[in-house]
Structure 1
Amino acid sequence: MAHKRPFLDNLDANILPCGGLKPKSLVEISGASNTGKSLVLNQLIARCLPPTYFGGKYCDAILIDLGHKFSVQHFEKLVTRVINESGEKCTPAENITVIHNCLNSVTALNCYTAEDFDLAFDIVEDILWENQNVSLLAIDTLDAFYWADTHKKLVRMTTHYNKLVTKLKQLFLQNNYHALNHTIGLTIWTSKSNCQIMS
């Protein structure tokens, strides 16, 4: 079943100069606070959703939002830019319809506690089994609950982070999709691809 998911190759040459996201790849966007990591994340999501003739990949995406920086109005502008860059003629009514369909193609899971985040993984697994068109899982601020998770027993941030990455990789074993996440101050790395993303 998983092999039917849309591919995200040649997604955005400015952000992913080495060809896009490979299936089952995990890409980290890392940088200091207020350097545009969430913006880059949202730009890549916006590139995935529109129909191919409007420059997208015509797939669905899941956003696990721990940073709560997602803005519908701003996201509409990002999708509009993708449509305009495609060069395809589009009436205002068609533009509104495409944007509406793109917003409906994103499943946003807002997490406010570490328990919400744990539950989100179960929800994601269910969605991936039910929806063959999901090709991207995006996580905004992967380490948001580090202190909440470790207040009883302090562990290194890298240990905590690696535990979450391992959880994502286990999800990869069953599904053919791509994951993007961003954290603060950790090493930039990918698996299955040599791309490095900086924001």
Structure 2
Amino acid sequence: MTARVRMAENGAQLVSRLEGRPSLRDIEPNIFPVDSGPRQGDVVEFHGMEGAGKTETLYHLIIRCIMPVQNGGLEVGVVFIDTDYHFDMLRLVSALEGRLAEDLKESDGSENEPEERVRSCLRRLSVVHCNSSVQLLLTLHYLENTFSSQPSVGLLVIDSISAFYWVDRFSGGESTVCQEANLRKCTELLDRLRRNYGIVVFATTHAIMRNYGSDPGVSDVPCSSSSSLLSSSHRWRSAESATDFDKPYLCRAWQRIVTHRMLFTKSPVSKDHKQVFSTACTSIMTKGVKRCSFHVMEDGIKFVCDK
């Protein structure tokens, strides 16, 4: 009887936490299709080559989360898992200060106020570093207590989920099952966390293979099976054809939980002496593609079109 009561109480607490979990549906209308922004439990994959603007876009979205409502933010807690050791706190702070600058100019507070506002925002951000897929798995287990006890935390960022792809392939020998074992376990745990606690997951993947075959459903990139790659490829090509390097290559379990894909590219030439970056966002909930372009500036990204 005691066990049943405890289970009922835990269930009630879970419902309460889910109801109190903040929404990210309006996090950035320039990027996500109308009414198709990330909802509780959604998984958004940021895919593109190195230097295509994925991390800068993550910084932009993180800042929107941790900023206070009165400054146009969402006041949402964020956990950032850095697997590439590329996280740049100084860059994030610089962009955050730029976003707060206009409001700070209108403030009549003391000289310490701008710095305190930045600190207040950063208190909503936690950064964790991982150097292997095993450590990533253990970190996700550890973070479950954070998500269960802190309903203000609404976003988990992993940069990148594909960081240990080649290491795991080498360690797994000839067996595809062994090669994908750690990522599959991480994915299964992420699936449980998003379902149980309603968190949104942002994860980057690198376009590590570029020499694909002419058949849009066939790729040189290893996967669990050619049929799974084909079905996954068609899943995201229902609206229009995609470019060569966006074909998924991670394990089948990961492809099943992804609800949004953002494909990043950059122009080969500068426009007005500024590099132009582009994103194309697709969702399993919509057939269309939301496209936008942006520049990377000192104070963050600046959108140059809204289609």
TM-score range, shorter chain: 0.7 to 0.9
Query: Counterpart of 1:153?
Result: 173
Write out aligned runs for 1:50-129 (5 A).
Answer: 50-84=67-101, 89-90=106-107, 91=109, 92-129=111-148
Letter in 1 for 2:189: K
Query: Is 2:25 the counterpart of 1:9?
Result: yes
Query: Counterpart of 2:62?
Result: 45
Instruction: Return the offset for 1:75.
Output: 0.6
Q: 2:40 aligns with which of 6, 19, 23?
A: 23
Going from structure 1 to structure 2, the CA distance change for 1:189 and 1:44 (only over 3 Å counts) comes to same
Query: Counterpart of 2:159?
Result: 140
TM-score by length of 2: 0.57
Instruction: Return the offset for 1:193.
Output: 4.6
CA RMSD of aligned residues (A): 2.9
Greater length-normalized contact order (CA 8 Å, ≥ 6 residues apart)? 1
Distance (Å, rounded) in 2 between the aligned partners of 1:67 and 1:37: 13
Contact kept in structure 2, 1:2 and 1:175, CA below 8 Å: yes
Query: Is 2:53 the counterpart of 1:36?
Result: yes
Gaps (5+ residues) in structure 1?
Answer: none
CA offsets, 1:86-123, max 9 Å, x none? Answer: 69834553321121122221111100122211111112
How many residues align structurally?
198
Contact kept in structure 1, 2:259 and 2:284, CA below 8 Å: no
State the identity as a percent: 23
Which structure would you say has the larger Rg? 2
Query: Counterpart of 2:190?
Result: 168
Write out aligned runs for 1:178-193 (5 A).
Answer: 178-185=200-207, 186-187=247-248, 190=260, 193=285
Going from structure 1 to structure 2, the CA distance change for 1:14 and 1:133 (only over 3 Å counts) comes to same
Tell me which moved more, 59-68 or 72-81. 72-81
